[in-house]
Amino acid sequence: MSNPTQTYQRFPIARRIEHIFMLLSFGFLALTGLPQKFPTLGISIFIANIFGSVENLRLVHHISATVMMLGTAWHLLVAGYKVFVTKEPMTMLPVVKDIVDGVQALLYNLGIGKKFPQMGRFNFEEKLEYWAFIWGAAVMGLTGFMMWNPLMTVKILPGEAIPAAKAAHGGEAILAVAAIIIWHMYGVHLKKFNKSMFTGKMDEEDMLHEHPLELADLKAGLAGPRVTDPVELRKRKAVYLPIAGILTVLMLGAIYGFVNVENTALSTIPPASITIQAYSPQTPTPMPISPSLDSKGPLTWDGYAGPLFLDKCTGCHGSMALGGLSLESYTGALKGGNHGPVIVPSKIASSNLVTIQSNGHIGQLSKEELDNIIKWIEAGAPEN
């Protein structure tokens, strides 16, 4: 009969802290990575606005990736210590029994099998998830390096490797997030909330249900490290710690190189020195000459009326053609506007321009200019 008050330690404090760091780094990688994968979605734009910009998203994504790489390095060093120094059983390695347990669990859940499999410290589901994480971290690390350091990549691989890495990186990210939300959340938090990764302990009833073989080994004194003699431990530490120190330097150097081997093409390619010389004509451009206000020139459209209208009237009756009237050309002037012709050759009374200007109008011609326009119209409004 199980004792629900009896608890057993499953994870020491160091492993729980490691789990928190990996949880946070994975969470921020997903939070900042998926909006870059699907940038046009409303939720992606919302997240980018929270971070302030896409560049901030990328910065947090890179920091989270670095934290995950450091966590992976630490995990490898701890695993090496347990395997070599304390000689703890490598219970996370997959074995044939895991396949048998998986089939038996499937049959049981389908109602075909009569007995749920008995499993040890880590069941087949936990092993699958662990090695899927290892595989995913390897793929994400490799493809992330290729995208983070494209110039270095194309020195070894063809340029097509960069978009291929981007596709693989995004696809693996979707798979990883889906596995966490669907598989991990259900198996660890919804089916029955497993608090052992946060408290470090599991009570006897849960151990009997989830890990009965490990519980039997614990009660029989067969679980845990196989090397406990202090002298033997010192000997093994004396061998492992220098190796671990070298491995630490190598892994930290690799992570530093991952992050700093190159920045971007804009910063790695020296800017070209370009001197731009402004255009300077040899002779100054002459200022436009306003039409003469006297009648010394010929009273024609080209010689007087056209330049005068261009200077005084085309602000409204030019390209805007206010009232349908354009005075930019001789043809437009004779055509008139929405209210009929404004210039009728040889007919002052029918020329509305003279009538309007005589009564006062915005853009009023001077008396001398109006007299010259009248003379021009009376002469038949010649063009040239």
What digits encode the pLDDT tens for the residues 15-58? 999 999 999 999 999 999 999 999 888 999 999 999 988 889 99
What domains can be seen in the chain, in order of their start residue? Answer: 7-268 (1.20.950.20), 301-378 (no CATH)
**The pLDDT of residue 130:** 92
Distance CA 356, CA 166 (A): 72
Distance CA 374, CA 11 (A): 106
Identify the helix (H) or strand (E) that includes residue 203: strand 201-203
Helices (H), the chain: 13-37, 42-51, 54-84, 96-109, 124-148, 150-153, 161-178, 196-199, 204-210, 212-220, 230-260, 265-268, 306-312, 330-335, 352-358, 367-378
Helices (H), 314-364: 330-335, 352-358
pLDDT over 60 (residue 128): yes
Give 257-296 as a DSSP string: HHHHS---HHHHSPPP---PPPP--SSPPPPPPPPPSSS-
Q: What residues form DSSP beta bridges with 203?
A: 7
Nearest to 130 by CA among 177, 94, 161: 94
**The pLDDT of residue 289:** 45
Instruction: Express each pLDDT in 171-187 by its tens digit.
Output: 999 999 999 988 888 88
Mean pLDDT within 279-291: 51
pLDDT over 80 (residue 188): yes
Ranges 18-22, 83-87, 205-209, 267-271: which has the least confidence: 267-271
Nearest to 329 by CA among 305, 312, 359, 354: 305
Q: What residues form DSSP beta bridges with 201?
A: 9
Nearest to 150 by CA among 137, 164, 139, 134: 164
Distance CA 217, CA 208 (A): 12
**The pLDDT of residue 280:** 56
Distance CA 13, CA 342 (A): 96
* Per-residue confidence band for 287, with pLDDT thresholds at 50, 70 and 90: very low
Q: Answer yes or no: pTM beyond 0.75.
A: no
Give residue for tokens 């798979």: 175
